[in-house]
Amino acid sequence: MSPTTDPERPAPEPSGTPSTGRRDLSAERPAGRDRALSRRRVLSGTAAALAGAGVALTGEFGYAEATADSKLPVYGGYAATVHADRRTPPRSSRVDVVWSVDTTRRLIALTFDDGPAPNWTPRVLSILAQTDTPATFFMVGRRAREYGRLVTHRLDGHEIGNHTWAHQDLAKMTYEQACTAISRAHNELTRLCGREPTLLRPPYGHLAGSTLLAANDLGYQVVLWNRQMLESRFTQNPDGLVDYVVDSCDPGTILLAHDTGPADRLVAIRGLAAMITGLRRRGFEFVTVSELMAAATPATAPAH
């Protein structure tokens, strides 16, 4: 069987293993047709201005370019979340970073990273269609351009998120570089899917201050996860992986899976239908990440 038709053959360019953590921030989101149109213009302009230039936004937004011998790294470099010389205010006063959602409803968001890819993504989509299960796909822009035909007309009911252009570590990028990586993927995914993504998942779960600045200015919320498949631990025990996933999820869980990568991840794809069935038996309903966030329990003010 040829590599392009072998369902057991891992796709190229495996990604690294993400890190995890827990911290929730809240955000204000722009709304309305005028703001949406403005966002499209900003993203298109950002991609065009930054591609090949690297620091094209420095003059407009007043960002100090990072240098190796900077005396004030807090005002430059990857870690900085503020810039004393910025002349234009941030897009919003807050940005979300979400690991899971506090909710009383038995909801779970199933997410897939790194695709689309031959063999894997169509197989995942077929399982989701057979089980009538929505999911959120965090796609790599470059792969969407190359393999977009694999998902054409198959994404109804699913949500699309931004996983950057080339799956590079955003934590090692300046603000300008992060804007380029996010904007290029945004424009490709919008072209492919006919709708704009609003959720960003940084590759490997890594982010820096520059990531938050770029996400905020480009109108994104940052979505991580609080459970993942842990495929490498269960390569010889597929049923054990199914039991682990079914037993470990709680209301509001964001579950990480992949639709491409090294061969050990196939154990999760093979067990996906059983996981879905098991979680439904526990009373869980599958929703997209945006639907999960919309179902969050309102925060209550602390008693005085």
- Cα–Cα distance measured from residue 13 to residue 108, given in angstroms and rounded to the nearest whole number: 28
d(CA 180, CA 159): 22
Give a yes or no: residue 25 inside a domain: no
Residue 178: CA count within 13 A, CB half-sphere:
29
Spot the catalytic one: 163, 217, 258, 259. Answer: 258
The answer to the question of residue 199 being in a domain is yes
Residue 17 lies in a domain: no
**Catalytic status, residue 85:** no
User: Which range of residues forms the domain containing residue 222?
Assistant: 33-294
Of the candidates 113, 114, 217, 259, the residue annotated as catalytic is 113
34 has pLDDT over 80: no
The answer to whether 90 and 112 have CB atoms below 8 angstroms apart is: no
Whether residue 14 lies inside any domain: the answer is: no
The pLDDT of residue 3: 41
Known catalytic residue: 113? yes
In a domain, 26, yes or no: no
User: Residue 162: beta bridge partners?
Assistant: 139, 200
Q: Answer whether residue 159 is part of any domain.
A: yes
The CATH number linked to 101 is 3.20.20.370
Residue 65 pLDDT more than 60? no
Q: Are 50 and 181 in contact (CB under 8 A)?
A: no
More confident position, 78 or 25: 78
Q: How many domains does the chain have?
A: 1
**Please, is 153 exposed, middle or buried when counting C-beta atoms within 10 Å of its C-beta (0-12, 13-18, 19+)?**
exposed
- Please, which pLDDT band fits residue 86 given cuts at 50, 70 and 90? low
Phi-psi region of 18 (alpha: psi -120 to 50; beta: other; left: phi over 0): beta
- Residue 21: inside a domain: no
Report whether pLDDT(42) > 60.
Answer: no
Q: What pLDDT score was predicted for residue 96?
A: 86
Take residue 93 and report the two structure tokens written for it: 């006063």
Whether 301 is covered by a domain: the verdict is no
pTM above 0.85, yes or no: no
Kindly report the backbone phi and psi dihedral angles of residue 220, in degrees, each rounded to the nearest multiple of 5, phi listed first: -110, 150
pLDDT at 215 over 60: yes
